[in-house]
Structure 1
Amino acid sequence: MATRYGQGYGDWDGPESPGAGGRLHRLPAALRAPIEGRSWGEFVYLVLSLPIGIMTFTYSVTMFSLGAGLLVTFLGIPVLAAALAGCRGFGALERARARGLLGLQVADPEPLPIKRRGAMAWIGAMLKSGTSWRHMLYTVLQFPWAVFSFTVGISFWVTGWALLTYPLWFWLFPMYAGQDGLLLYGDETRGIYLDNPFEITVTVLVGLLFTLTTPWIVRGLTTVDRLLVHGLLGPSRLATRVVELESDRGVVVDTAAADLRRIERDLHDGAQARLVALAMDLGLAKEKLAEDPQAAARMVDEAHGEVKTALQELRDLARGIHPAVLTDRGLDAALSAVAARCTVPVQLEVDLPSRPAAAIEGIAYFTVSELLQNISKHARASRATVDVWRVEDRLLLQVVDDGVGGADAFGGSGLAGLAGRLDAVDGILVVDSPVGGPTRITAELPWRA
């Protein structure tokens, strides 16, 4: 099972041709392209683009011209708002069309930021929305491109299939047109017709070439449509980044709250309970000091052992918050200590030219710590390796074990929580853990020195 936490506008996510099954995919891509569902979906998209482009372009230009002409009066403002609202509706239609025919997944843009109720608030929000103006720009740019791509796509598609199937229908010419075949060249004195077997064979081969080439031409044309839809009809980069930061902030807050609850629980159930018992033992020893000094001495000796245990628990708790060795000596020394405590032999290699930002260093430390803890508890491995290195401005960690595999990276598992913590700082977690092993987990973090 491979999982990556972290959409491309060029990815195909639509259906394949029905009934093709695995047999279709045994053919080379160049041969199966003309009969693939993807190719026909892209061709239908080009065919529909022209009438839709005429309609949206006419609407946008007409409404914008009307609104701009009426700006000398108050009526121009609501007309422009209505024009933008209509363009947003066309944008929703185009996103659905691209999703169904191109397999392009584009998220809906951010809603209008309407802060109060009323028609004037709606008009103001519509006119100030950059998303609305991008939708209108799409209707203007899409129309000339639709004319070009429709012309090119239809020309190549019809020419290819017509020439490829010429042996099936060339008998129409002598029967209904009174000529020997398709006229290739003609003037007042003579004409050249495609009518003998050699010429028909060459025609079919040319048609086959056109037919095999056309899907790739259509795919190139629809790539521009993908760019237009993705760039102008989806959410803006700023809005997407704001949503990501809000989500990451929520993850950070939740993680910090969970850490505080864990520290409080460890203090309450561990060191605090032990210190309370220690205070009671010392009180009893004080009472017995006069009447039974030997018993009091034994109780003080036991209390001394309890003090050592409480100190060790406090040190472990402090190490869980942020180990001193990490602050003083960096990842190499801190991870060496973690590897030494693992129940399986760990080979550690840290190749870092310098130290990353303190926050990134801490996240890297706790990531490796949790992964090694998972190996100790669940992997049933005989050995593990940990590699830490830097690539440009990214810090990479990789933990590999030869255990049973099948690590669950979804649901409420620890790996899912770890992925959320990395995502909060623009990190990525990649889990490759097939059943039977081995398990390879790679984490990528920004350097931020």
Structure 2
Amino acid sequence: MATEYGQEYGRRPGNPAGSGFPDHDGERHHLLPAALRAPVEPRAWRELGYVLLSLPIAIALFTWTVTMASLGAGLLVTFLGIPVLAAALAGCRGFGVLERMRARALLGLEVADPEPLRTGRSGLFAWMGAVLKSGTSWRHLLYALLQFPWAVFSFGVSVAFWTSGWSLLTYPLWRWVFPMYAGQGGLQLYGDRHHSVYLDNPFEITVTALAGLLVTLATPWIVRALTAVDGLLVRGLLGPTRLSARVVELESDRGVVVDTAAADLRRIERDLHDGAQARLVNLAMDLGLAKEKLREDPRAAARMVEDAHGEVKTALQELRDLARGIHPAVLTDRGLDAALSSVASRCTVPVRVEVDLPARPAPAIEGIAYFTVSELLQNISKHSRARSASVDVWRAEDRLLLQVVDDGAGGADASRGSGLAGLAGRLGAVDGVLVVDSPVGGPTRVIAELPWRT
């Protein structure tokens, strides 16, 4: 859902910041800086474990891919090459599932599953055709070919730095091995037939330990940089493409639009049935009775016609309100400024409206902006216990931004299935975003961002 919380998002230039968004990052405060505690943090060891596991997995994946792909390519002159290639690609996709799980567990990298195979019909041949035609399958094969040399490199670099750093750092603890078992004063730094240099005096031992400390402190960041490349490979080759993710998003948005339209039609039908339609039925009955009494009791008939006239006025007002709820005429004729001022005048608290637009956005976007502000002002009237509110509308590059602020009790939360959740869904259907900042005690600040789309 296109809702975000606790972010300084889309602030209008010159507007003061809100009352402070809640802190959701969950960071703990440490006495030591990150550079000093990195070697002993769990994250560093998880990343090292990822690198160590990468080599055997890469060997198995590379062996499978090269063997099966070359065998399948060689057998393409016969029918057997097609199922062998399909099996090779299917195996790569299976390894891709393992790699996404490993990246999620050890690197904290959330990579969505790629789009599933679209076979269209059941059967082995349909499955093989879907595997061979799927771009995802070939991206998994490319990952197998690229990840192997990278895994060898990152494994070698990581092991060399980790072992060297910790060995030099702990050198004062195990230096006694050399004089006791090797017959020399310490670790040999240089040696030829004429002379040798050993790390055996206190100064050299201290310098060695300090050098080991520097290497040890630098190693987690080196490994982190190496695993960042792994993350790019996993995300870029084993996850969904932007196009497929966009297709899924559009399919979801289409469902939201259909559901919203159906809900609006049900609301209009209910309003017509319970409001204007019922009044018109009663009006028809009253006029029928008045017609029967016209000759017998003209005065009573006149009173009934007068009452029916009042019912007609009420029905007309309900129809006007219903039409305004579908699409107000003032919005079509005069734009957002006049339409929002009209909505603000019906709010139960004083509302300041400021619209600063160089031109009118697309009609559909203008309508969504109008109904968004209308619903937010209704929420203020019903739930906020506010004394005042403000509405600001402006354009930032190719986006239309709306900001509604009130000084009420706060505590609005779109995640609890309130009307804000439905509003966020409507905005998301057109690539919009809803940002809610409503700490308990207030104030409440809601920003909606919509595409301009002229």
TM-score normalised by the chain length of structure 2: 0.92
- Bigger shift: residues 318-327 or 401-410: 401-410
For structure 1, which runs of at least 5 residues remain unmatched after alignment? Answer: 6-20
In the TM superposition, what are the counterparts of 1:297-336 in structure 2 within 5 Å?
A: 297-336=302-341
Give the aligned partner of residue 222 of structure 1.
227
- Counterpart code for 2:113: D
- SS at structure 2 position matched to 1:410: helix
- Counterpart code for 2:207: V
Assess if the C-alpha contact under 8 Å between 1:24 and 1:32 holds in 2: no
- Counterpart code for 1:447: W
Give the aligned partner of residue 16 of structure 1.
none
Counterparts in 2 of 1:301 and 1:319: CA distance versus 1, 3 Å: same
Q: Deviations over 1:86-117 (max 9, x none)?
A: 11111111111111100111111222112222
Assess if the C-alpha contact under 8 Å between 1:410 and 1:416 holds in 2: yes
- Counterpart code for 2:101: A
- SS at structure 1 position matched to 2:173: helix
In the TM superposition, what are the counterparts of 1:250-265 in structure 2 within 5 Å?
A: 250-265=255-270
Q: CA deviation at 1:411?
A: 4.0
Give the aligned partner of residue 131 of structure 1.
136
Assess if the C-alpha contact under 8 Å between 1:346 and 1:385 holds in 2: yes
1:430 to 413, 416, 435: 435
- SS at structure 2 position matched to 1:116: coil
Q: CA deviation at 1:24?
A: 6.9
Q: CA deviation at 1:266?
A: 0.5
Give the aligned partner of residue 382 of structure 2.
377
The 1-side partners of 2:337 and 2:137 are apart by 52
1:84 aligns with 2:89: yes
Q: Deviations over 1:142-167 (max 9, x none)?
A: 01111111122222222222222222
- SS at structure 2 position matched to 1:441: strand
The 2-side partners of 1:182 and 1:345 are apart by 82
Counterparts in 2 of 1:173 and 1:3: CA distance versus 1, 3 Å: farther
Give the aligned partner of residue 8 of structure 1.
none
Q: CA deviation at 1:205?
A: 1.9
Give the aligned partner of residue 144 of structure 1.
149
Q: Deviations over 1:158-188 (max 9, x none)?
A: 2222222222112222122211111222222
Root-mean-square deviation (CA, aligned residues, Å) is 1.7
Give the aligned partner of residue 11 of structure 1.
none
Q: CA deviation at 1:221?
A: 1.0
Give the aligned partner of residue 46 of structure 2.
41
- Counterpart code for 1:308: K
Assess if the C-alpha contact under 8 Å between 2:3 and 2:424 holds in 1: no
1:197 to 197, 202, 216: 202
Assess if the C-alpha contact under 8 Å between 2:3 and 2:433 holds in 1: no
Q: CA deviation at 1:287?
A: 2.1
Assess if the C-alpha contact under 8 Å between 2:411 and 2:442 holds in 1: yes
Q: CA deviation at 1:306?
A: 1.4
Equivalent pairs: percent with the same residue?
81
In the TM superposition, what are the counterparts of 1:227-242 in structure 2 within 5 Å?
A: 227-242=232-247
Assess if the C-alpha contact under 8 Å between 1:360 and 1:445 holds in 2: yes
Give the aligned partner of residue 113 of structure 1.
118
Give the aligned partner of residue 287 of structure 1.
292
- SS at structure 2 position matched to 1:135: helix
Counterparts in 2 of 1:283 and 1:26: CA distance versus 1, 3 Å: farther
The 2-side partners of 1:118 and 1:289 are apart by 80
- Counterpart code for 1:316: D
In the TM superposition, what are the counterparts of 1:265-280 in structure 2 within 5 Å?
A: 265-280=270-285
Counterparts in 2 of 1:362 and 1:395: CA distance versus 1, 3 Å: same
For structure 2, which runs of at least 5 residues remain unmatched after alignment? Answer: 6-25
- Counterpart code for 2:215: F
Assess if the C-alpha contact under 8 Å between 2:437 and 2:446 holds in 1: yes
The 1-side partners of 2:370 and 2:234 are apart by 42
1:174 aligns with 2:176: no
- Counterpart code for 2:383: H
- Counterpart code for 2:396: V
Q: CA deviation at 1:129?
A: 1.1
- Counterpart code for 2:4: R
The 1-side partners of 2:38 and 2:247 are apart by 40
The 2-side partners of 1:164 and 1:32 are apart by 15
1:72 aligns with 2:64: no
The 1-side partners of 2:29 and 2:210 are apart by 22
- SS at structure 2 position matched to 1:434: coil
Give the aligned partner of residue 4 of structure 2.
4
The 1-side partners of 2:28 and 2:289 are apart by 85
Assess if the C-alpha contact under 8 Å between 1:85 and 1:132 holds in 2: yes
